[in-house]
Structure 1
């Protein structure tokens, strides 16, 4: 199980520290192009496994699509890619958090700065956790308001634990990258501006990620109440996947049901294992 760069558990670096701006100069582009391949090859080398499976949720699917479209040789070593609530543009996302990042990019930089954002705030973590231990249903409703779904499918006795670890944080550049592709309606690399794009990509506009080039067997699970991966976004994504081996849609599920849903084991996890055995 891997961590996304810049979250609570991934704040170390060989030469940089989180107080430096350079530490935070990354988005899901770097995660997909560098971190995911490094993690997968590390696992293969350590375990001796020639091929592995990849299961991602939310931005974990985003980085998977980037990694496997960028490196065909890596994609060939993935037996199956399980995409849970995949997000590639968020064009139709309705979450309040998405509406916040829809403000103009300069204002985003004023609001969040140029380093990290959405991390747990130390002095608030304890009180918030205690609040949600006492008012678990209220906090559950807040989560559903942000991500979609129904509180009846959440174990509310665990809400305090969930909010004690989430959100885990990311870089401001990652947030801005989401802002850019949502505005462009295109699954593309980070836009540094035409001058810097020429230096980095040898073209004035950021290149698109070629999902159509991924030969890996891909299984997708989506939710009808998902406020980050709307069914309309799914309708645009699915036809682009050349080797779609399975798709299941749960009308009542929101974005968090894929990881915290009480019925996730019966409805989805068992099927994931079944497909892994099939594509062994």
Structure 2
């Protein structure tokens, strides 16, 4: 039985790799409307090759007039080598900005929206922008001893992202600029900061000036996402992922979706699945950027990261990773993993929430906001569009008007030390 199991896994691996190799060279075209995506219309004037699809983060930034890109590689205390990308034009603002992405994506999400990329807009406002690529993503696969083919490489969890990757990044930015930073996190980027700042509150106060959470995630209270149904079968899926990819979840998966981008039917198929996971919103699909959303934005993640999130979801408690009673006693001194104490966070916090976010729900954000000290509550904002979903924070076609004009004002408030405990819902 065991040999049969290994044979099936080997066959799946071969088919998977052949499919990737056969599709990797397909060109990506973008069209002016979703209906223009058609095998019959793909050569017409409304569709064209998008050169940005083939560029990395630094190349995209350097294509912007007057911008400089710097690649800063740092080694965390537990041996992972991660890339922090720096982007700036003329730095006229005193406070640097740190932006940290969510699960299964990278910092590409901050630069691949053309003229409305958030890193570009912040740079044009004079900010010095630093973007972390979490360990395990395409740009941060290094380690002092391990390779990504070693299952041990992938045995990190969300706690490690906060207390190593985020911690190393905020310290490095402070050392490079000699200034406290404003931290902007999206989804898992917020989780990492909440873990770091509650575990090392004195450091967080020393190195950061404020925190802005986009689609903040702590316990998934009230989630409607279909991925909650992975919980019962996760032990089996976890073993399969270790057997197939050593602990890396679906490496190169975005390539499997490329053939669907040639037609509107394929695109709507992808979006239908996205809606079931993150919240339904067809109206904010951006036809000129959708192929980038699928092929560039979708990265990979470590299997224990999802194990940790499922543990938090099942328990309803924002807590450290559960290694089992014996190892918990060794690591924590208790049989169960300790909670992260949100009351210890000393940094002013503002939150932006999507009313239609099925993953990091408003209920989840409200519990977070009520759990931090009243003195650091600097605003709870619901994006003024009732269908605004989890992925809309990255790909909505109307981001400048729906989010950025409010976000940039909140950045100024944090920069100027103005902290007001306001609540704004749907405008």
**TM value normalised by structure 1:** 0.92
Partner of 1:190: 321
User: Which structure has the larger Rg?
Assistant: 2
C-alpha displacement of 1:196: 0.2
Q: Secondary structure of the equivalent of 2:193?
A: helix
Question: Partners of 1:91 and 1:239 in 2: how far apart?
Answer: 14
Judged with a 3 Å threshold, the aligned counterparts in structure 2 of structure 1 residues 201 and 62 are, in CA distance, closer, same or farther, namely same
Unaligned runs of at least 5 residues, structure 1: none
Q: Secondary structure of the equivalent of 2:196?
A: helix
Cα RMSD, aligned residues only: 1.8
Would you say 1:33 and 2:158 are equivalent positions? no
Unaligned runs of at least 5 residues, structure 2: 1-130, 416-427
C-alpha displacement of 1:34: 0.8
Q: Is the Cα–Cα contact under 8 Å of residues 320 and 340 in structure 2 kept in the other structure?
A: yes
Question: Partners of 1:212 and 1:204 in 2: how far apart?
Answer: 23
| Greater fraction strand | 2
Moved more, 211-220 or 161-170: 161-170
Pick one of 232, 237, 256 that aligns with 2:391. 256
Judged with a 3 Å threshold, the aligned counterparts in structure 2 of structure 1 residues 141 and 105 are, in CA distance, closer, same or farther, namely closer
Pick one of 6, 9, 17 that aligns with 2:147. 17
Partner of 2:215: 85
Q: Deviations over 1:63-110 (max 9, x none)?
A: 01001111112221321111000111113222222322x115532423
Partner of 1:103: 232
| Greater fraction helix | 1
Q: Is the Cα–Cα contact under 8 Å of residues 293 and 395 in structure 2 kept in the other structure?
A: no
**TM value normalised by structure 2:** 0.61
Q: Is the Cα–Cα contact under 8 Å of residues 228 and 255 in structure 1 kept in the other structure?
A: yes
Question: Partners of 2:141 and 2:315 in 1: how far apart?
Answer: 30
C-alpha displacement of 1:192: 0.4
Moved more, 223-232 or 54-63: 223-232
Partner of 1:70: 199
Moved more, 145-154 or 31-40: 145-154
Q: Is the Cα–Cα contact under 8 Å of residues 119 and 167 in structure 1 kept in the other structure?
A: no
Partner of 1:270: 405
Q: Is the Cα–Cα contact under 8 Å of residues 133 and 157 in structure 1 kept in the other structure?
A: no
Partner of 2:51: none
Moved more, 134-143 or 206-215: 134-143
Pick one of 274, 279, 283 that aligns with 1:148. 279
Q: Secondary structure of the equivalent of 2:149?
A: coil
Question: Partners of 2:237 and 2:327 in 1: how far apart?
Answer: 20
C-alpha displacement of 1:48: 2.8
Question: Partners of 1:105 and 1:62 in 2: how far apart?
Answer: 21
Partner of 1:167: 298
C-alpha displacement of 1:112: 2.5
Point out which structure has higher relative CO (alpha carbons under 8 A, 6+ apart): 1
Partner of 2:363: 232
Question: Partners of 1:86 and 1:164 in 2: how far apart?
Answer: 24
Q: Is the Cα–Cα contact under 8 Å of residues 284 and 398 in structure 2 kept in the other structure?
A: yes
Partner of 2:247: 115
User: How many positions carry a matched residue from both structures?
Assistant: 275
Question: Partners of 2:363 and 2:393 in 1: how far apart?
Answer: 18
